[in-house]
Amino acid sequence: MKKAYLFPGQGSQFSGMGKDLYQQSEQARDLFAQADNILGFELSSIMFEGTAEDLKQTRVTQPAVFCHSVILAQVLGIEPDMVAGHSLGEFSALVVNKTLSFEDGLRLVSLRAQAMQHACDLQNSTMAAILGLSDEKVEEICQSITETVVVPANYNSPGQLVISGTVEGVQKAIELCKAAGAKRTVQLPVSGAFHSPLMEPARIQLAEAIEKTKFHAPICPVYQNVSARAETNPEIIQQNLLAQLTSPVKWTQCIQSMIADGASEFIEIGPGKVLQGLVKSIAPDIPRKGFEKLLEQS
């Protein structure tokens, strides 16, 4: 019986996130103050009082989701058997399993957000969700488009694959996916091609910081987006974390690997319920819940 803890990524933020936690826990207040000091601006105020538009700023969004997840996990005192995070959430997972310190994790997340925004500014790019086609068919369509960049980016669940690339490439792929029988296609409200080769400038920018950061032996395996396997070697974890910027998020495969390795329950730690929904699509028979249930028990 193994409990698997999951940590969400960008897009799960909401106005007021973490405010109850701040009001109820001295430990949380100390950690939020520490985060504000590290970042050099009052992230906590934006999280608690800011508008949805304020929270959409990349420099705010990624540290906000990270802090909500990690501070919540610290207050709950969770002891995971295994962890995984979706995209940005992998940084949260690596703090919770002790691979990274809170301070180092937050600094890397802040730099990652800035680097990704810079890469977005360099190229007119976007992402889109393709629903109702097999992964293999979407991969085949992306590979058939050779005049520009479009690649599979997020293997979210069976029948839900997000593609990423230039605006031209994504729109061409959408047309071909519709012609191939996709039930629905949704262009996402993002300004960049995350988890694609177009994030190479961000990978280069982040490389030095990740290489200089101390990665410790974790207390439990992390199932990383790049490999979808249990990783415990700090050097491999470090390499995979950097490769994640330009590689697809193999979320379906991560969940399947965790189940194969004995996961009997999935618990989402952080804002929103997106990951619980994805787990339901991937493995409907495995129990799943949000952090609210843990708060009730604590």
Residues of the chain with CATH 3.30.70.250: 124-187
The pLDDT value recorded for residue 11 is 85
The pLDDT value recorded for residue 297 is 61
Given pLDDT bands bounded at 50, 70 and 90, which one contains residue 298? Answer: low
8: pLDDT strictly greater than 80: yes
195 noted as active-site residue = yes
196 noted as active-site residue = no
Given pLDDT bands bounded at 50, 70 and 90, which one contains residue 291? Answer: confident
Across the chain, what does the average pLDDT equal? 95
Q: What angle do CA 147, 166, 243 make, to 5 degrees?
A: 100
**What's the fold here for domain 2-121+197-297?**
Malonyl-Coenzyme A Acyl Carrier Protein; domain 2 (3.40.366)
271: pLDDT strictly greater than 70: yes
* Separation of alpha carbons 76 and 269, rounded Å: 10
Residue 114: count other Cβ atoms within 10 Å of its Cβ.
Answer: 16
**What's the fold here for domain 124-187?**
Alpha-Beta Plaits (3.30.70)
Under 8 Å between Cβ of 292 and 268: no
Please pick, among 195, 227, 247, 257, the residue that the annotation labels catalytic.
Answer: 195
Backbone CA torsion sign across 64, 67, 69, 72: negative
Residues of the chain with CATH 3.40.366.10: 2-121+197-297
Classify 11 in phi/psi space as left (phi over 0), alpha (psi -120 to 50) or beta.
left
Please pick, among 12, 44, 69, 87, the residue that the annotation labels catalytic.
Answer: 87
